[in-house]
Structure 1
Amino acid sequence: MVNIPSVAELRERIDDLSSAIEAQKHILRGLVTQQSDARRQLNFLLDPMARIPFELQSDIFLQSLPEHPGCFVYAGDVTQPALDSPPINLMGVSRLWRDIALATPKLWAEVVLESLPRGSKYSDLCRIWLDRAKGLPLSLTLGGSLKLEKSVLDLVGQYRHQLENLSLILPLDDLLDVSYPIMQFNVDEVSPLSSLKTLTLEATCTEEMTNVTIMDRWLDILRAAPELQSCVLDQVWFEDENDLLEPLTLASLHELRLGQPYSWVMVGNSASSCAMLRYLTLPALKSLDLSIVDIENEDLFALFSRSSPPLESLALAIPEEWDDTVVISLLALLPTLSKLKLCVSPQDIAHYTPFLDILGTARDTLPNLRNIEFWTDYPLTIDYDKVLRMLDFRQKSCRTPLESFALVFAWQMRDFSSDLPNEQVRAGMRQLVKNGLSLRLGPLSGDSI
C-alpha cells in the first residue's frame, strides 16, 4: 500500500527544499565572490597597473589627457559622449579604471560641446558630466548655435561661478544678438563670473563686418569677470555711439588678442575692433595683439599712458595712415617690450626704414627687445643694408642681444630671387646666424633664408 503524504507533509517538504536551495545559492554566491577575488588577485599579480597606488593611477590618467578631453557628439537623434575621448575611453578598459575615472573629478572638469542639438536630454548629459567635477573650476567650449538650445544656456548659467575657462565659437548671428546667447546674468549681480580666467569669443564668419555689436554689453561681460587673465575676441566688432560708458580697470588681465594681425594683413580676415580700448585700463597687460586700429592714435597712446603696463609682446597691424613717426612714438611708451611683430601693407613697408634706423642706434627706446618680425604681402623696396646694420648693432652693441628676426611675405613670387639681399649682405647675415641669431627672410610658404 502506497503511503501518500498529506498536504501538510508536502508543504513541509517544499519548505525544506526551498531552504536547501537558498543555502546552496548562498554557497554559490560565496564561491562566485571567491572566484572574483581570486581573479582580481591574479590580475593584480599579472597587471603592473593594478599594483600602482590609486592616487598615482589617477595622476597618470590626468597626464594622458589631450588638449580638450571632454567632447559630446550628436549623431542623428542620439546625443552621447564621444567614445574615443577621455574619460569615456578610460572607463571602458576595466572596472578598476572605471572606478578610478569616476573618482577623479579633474577628468570631468573640461568639456567641449559641439553642434548643439535641441532637447533637454543633451543638457542632462552635460549636467551629469559636469557634476562629476565635484565643484572644481571648469573649462567649457561651446560650438554650433546656442540659439538652438536654451537648456544648454541655462546650464552655463548654473555653473558660471565655477567657470575658469570659457570659449564660445559661434555663428555670426549669435554674436550679433549679445543680449541673448552669451551669458544670462544680471549686471547688478556681484562678479557673476568670479572664477573666470580666460575668455575666447569667436564668430564663425569670414565676411567683413562693421558696427554689429553693442559696446556696453561687452563691457558688462568683462566687468563681470574681475579675475580675467586672458581675453581673445575674433571677428567681434563694436558699435560705439555712447560717450557716457563707465571706464573699466581689469587689474589681472595680462593677455589681450583682438583678431590675428598677420592674418588681417595677409588675407584680409580674422579681425576685431579695438574700440573698447578707449574705456579700459590694463595695468598688468603683458601681451597685446591688434588686427585693426579703428580708434585715434591718441586713444591708443592714452591706453598705454594710463595703464603703464609691463608689456612684453606686441603684435600690431599698422594702419595705412600711420608712418614711422607714429610707430616710434607708440613704442617709446613701451620700454619693457621684448617681442615685436609689425604687420604692414606692401605699399607702406618702405615707410619703416627710419624705424629700422632707430632700432639700430643708441637712440633706441626698446632696450629689452629680443624678437622682431615684419609681415607684409610681398617684398617691395626693402633696404637690406639697413636691415643688416640694425641686426648687427642689436646683436653686438645692445645690452640685450637680439635673438630672432623675421621678414615674412605672404606669397611666393616667380621673381622672388631678384628681391633677395645681395651676396655681401647675405654673408653678413650668415655670420650673425653663426653668432646665434635666428633669421628668416622669405615667403610664408616655400624656401626662406
Structure 2
Amino acid sequence: MACCDWKVIALSQLSYTSYCTANGTCSSCKELSALEAQIHGTISNLQGLLQRHQSKKTELNHTHSRIIQRLPPEVMSTIFHFCSPVTFRNQLESERYEDVFASLYLGGVCRTWRHLAWATPQLWTHLVILRPFFNRPERVSLVLEWISRSKALPLSIYVSVYENEKHIDGGPPPSHRPLLDALSACSARWRDVDLKIPTHFLRYLFQRVHDLDRIDTLRLRPGITSRREFRLFDGVIPSPHRVVASGLLLKQLNLDWSRVIQAKADDFSVEDCLELFRCAPVLEMCELVEVGYSMSFSALSPFVHENLKNLSFDSIDTGEDFFSAITLPNLTHFSYDKHGHRCDNPALLPFFLRSTPPLQKLELLNVEFSFEDLEALLQAVPTVSHLHLTMSPDLYDHDERKQFRDPFLRHLSQSPTDILPALRTLEFSFHVYDHVELPWKCIAGIVAPLLANDDDPRCRPLKTFRHESSTSKFYIRKT
C-alpha cells in the first residue's frame, strides 16, 4: 500500500557546537553521543530500506505494467530511437530544440527506461550548447558524458553564444575554452555542425580539430563580418556537402568546395559569388542573400556552371554584373529579389537567352517591368509552370465587371498561350511597403479568365492561384 503521509525529517539539528568543560565525558554528553550513534544506524538502515523499496517498485513495474514495459529491450530501444530529432537541421533553422532533449525526458520516467535510454547511443547524437554552458565547469563534464553515450556514432552539434569581438586577437576567454576543447576532441564524429559563435571562437576551435572527414553540413554564423585577413581552417580542411556562411568572406572560408552541392551565403560581393561557383563545380542549389556591389571596374570573366539547378538571388544592387557573366543552362528554379526597394528591369533577358534553361519555377520579386519587357522575358522561358510576381500597387482598383488595368494580367487572360503555355501555378504578392489590400470581389475577375475551358487547345493547364499580402492570404485551386 502506498504511503501518502510523508513527513520531512530535518537532520540539521544534529549539527551543534559542544561547550562541555569535561571534553564530552559528562553523562549528558555520553547520552547524546549514544543517541547520535543510534540515529546514524537508523539512517543507514533507512537508506537500505529505501534502496530495497526502489528495487521492489521496479519489480512491480515489470509485474503490473502495461504491455510496453514487457517489450524486449531491443524493441524498446528502437521505439526510443523514434523520439530522437530526425529533422535536426530544420529545428536548428527555427531554433527549436525540445526534441533534442527527448533522451532526458525518457530517462526520467523510471529506472528501467533510464538505463535503456542511457544505453541507446542513437538518442545522444544531437547536442545543443547554449551560452549558459560556457564558463561553468560542471557543464563541461555533462557535455563530455553526453558525447560518450553516443559511442562512435556521427554527431549533430549546435553551438550558440554571443561574445564581444574585442578579444579576437587573444581568442575566447579562458573560461570558455574547456568546452571548445571538448568539442574539438570529438571532431572526427562531426556530421551536421551549426556554429553560431564569434569569429575568434571559430578560429580557436578549428585550430584544434584533428579530423573533419565525416562532415556533411557546415553552418558558420559568427554574426558580425570581420574584414581581417585570416584563413579559418588550419591544417585540417573540411569537405562538406552543404554549407551556410553568414558573416564570413569567401577568402576566409578556405574549405574544400569540390563536393558542395548546396550553399547559402550572406553579404558576398558579385566577384565572390562567381568565385564560389567556380570553386563548387557540383553545386546544385545556391541561395545568395544581400549580394553586394561589384568591386571590379572592368567586365567580369564569363563562366558557365553546368550543374546548378536552383538559384535564389537577393541583391542590394540590380545584379547586372553577375547575370552578365554567368550562364546556367540547367537551371530549373530561379528566384530574384531586389533587396530593399523595387528597381527597374535587372537585365535578366540576356541571361535567359544565353542560358536557355529548362526553367520550371520563376520568382521576380520587388522588380518593376514594363509589359513589353516582361512579355519578352517570359517568352524566353516557355517551360515555366510556376510564376510568382510582386503585384503592382494599382491592382486594387480592379473590379470583377471591368476590364483589367494591369496589361500583363489582361494579356494573360485574353490571349492564346504565346507566353507561359505550361503555366500551372500563378502567384502574386504585394510589396511590404505598399500596404495595399486586394478586395475579395476582384478575385473572380482575375482568376476566372485564366481558368478557361479545358477543351480549348489554347488553354493553359493552370490549376492554382495564390495571393498574399501583409494582412491576408488566399489560395484557389482548380479541381
- TM-score, normalized by length of structure 2? 0.60
8 Å CA contact 1:312, 1:336 repeated in 2: yes
**Shift of residue 407 of structure 1?**
3.0
Does residue 151 of structure 1 match 2:178? yes
Q: 2:440 & 2:374 partners in 1: Cα distance?
A: 18
Equivalenced residues, count: 371
Q: 2:229 & 2:216 partners in 1: Cα distance?
A: 23
Q: 2:230 & 2:410 partners in 1: Cα distance?
A: 45
**Shift of residue 42 of structure 1?**
1.0
Q: What does residue 371 of structure 2 align with?
A: 353
**Shift of residue 162 of structure 1?**
2.2
8 Å CA contact 2:184, 2:208 repeated in 1: yes
Q: 1:318 & 1:405 partners in 2: Cα distance?
A: 18
Does residue 292 of structure 1 match 2:318? no
Q: 2:324 & 2:286 partners in 1: Cα distance?
A: 16
Does residue 340 of structure 1 match 2:365? no
8 Å CA contact 1:258, 1:272 repeated in 2: yes
Q: 1:442 & 1:246 partners in 2: Cα distance?
A: 34
Q: What does residue 15 of structure 2 align with?
A: none
Q: Over the residues paired in the alignment, what is the CA RMSD in angstroms? A: 4.9
AA aligned opposite 1:439 = F
8 Å CA contact 1:278, 1:300 repeated in 2: no
Q: 2:159 & 2:294 partners in 1: Cα distance?
A: 26
**DSSP 3-state at the match of 1:291:** strand
Q: 1:432 & 1:150 partners in 2: Cα distance?
A: 69
List alignment gaps of at least 5 residues for structure 2. 1-48, 92-96, 164-171, 233-249, 397-404, 455-459
Alignment of 1:322-333 (within 5 A): 323-324=344-345, 326-332=347-353, 333=355
AA aligned opposite 1:126 = V
Q: Which moved more, 1:194-203 or 1:434-443?
A: 434-443
Does residue 129 of structure 1 match 2:129? no
2:463 to 431, 437, 441: 437
**DSSP 3-state at the match of 1:180:** helix
Alignment of 1:4-153 (within 5 A): 39=60, 41-43=62-64, 46-66=65-85, 67-68=87-88, 85-116=101-132, 117-145=134-162, 147=172, 149-153=176-180
1:184 to 207, 210, 213: 207
AA aligned opposite 2:216 = K
AA aligned opposite 1:328 = L
Change (3 A) 1:111 1:240: same
AA aligned opposite 1:184 = Q
Q: Which moved more, 1:274-283 or 1:141-150?
A: 274-283
8 Å CA contact 1:194, 1:227 repeated in 2: no
1:409 to 407, 416, 431: 431
Q: 2:429 & 2:338 partners in 1: Cα distance?
A: 15
Q: 2:270 & 2:420 partners in 1: Cα distance?
A: 44
AA aligned opposite 2:464 = S
- Residue deviations 1:22-52, cap 9 Å, x none? xxxxxx9xx9999678535414xx3121233
Q: Which moved more, 1:331-340 or 1:273-282?
A: 273-282
Q: 1:322 & 1:385 partners in 2: Cα distance?
A: 19
**DSSP 3-state at the match of 2:112:** helix
- Residue deviations 1:360-380, cap 9 Å, x none? 5xx43351x22222247x725
Q: Which has the higher contact order (CA 8 A, sep 6+)?
A: 1
Q: What does residue 4 of structure 1 align with?
A: none
Change (3 A) 1:36 1:124: closer
8 Å CA contact 2:318, 2:338 repeated in 1: no
Q: What does residue 191 of structure 2 align with?
A: 164
- Residue deviations 1:247-272, cap 9 Å, x none? 9633554333233xxxxxxxxxxx45
AA aligned opposite 1:356 = L
Q: 1:366 & 1:385 partners in 2: Cα distance?
A: 19
Q: 1:121 & 1:294 partners in 2: Cα distance?
A: 50
**DSSP 3-state at the match of 2:206:** coil
8 Å CA contact 1:197, 1:229 repeated in 2: no
Q: What does residue 25 of structure 1 align with?
A: none
- TM-score, normalized by length of structure 1? 0.64
Give me the identity figure in percent: 16
- Residue deviations 1:178-212, cap 9 Å, x none? 873663368xx8xx53322223334557xxx7x84
Does residue 371 of structure 1 match 2:386? yes
8 Å CA contact 2:348, 2:377 repeated in 1: no
Q: 1:161 & 1:280 partners in 2: Cα distance?
A: 36
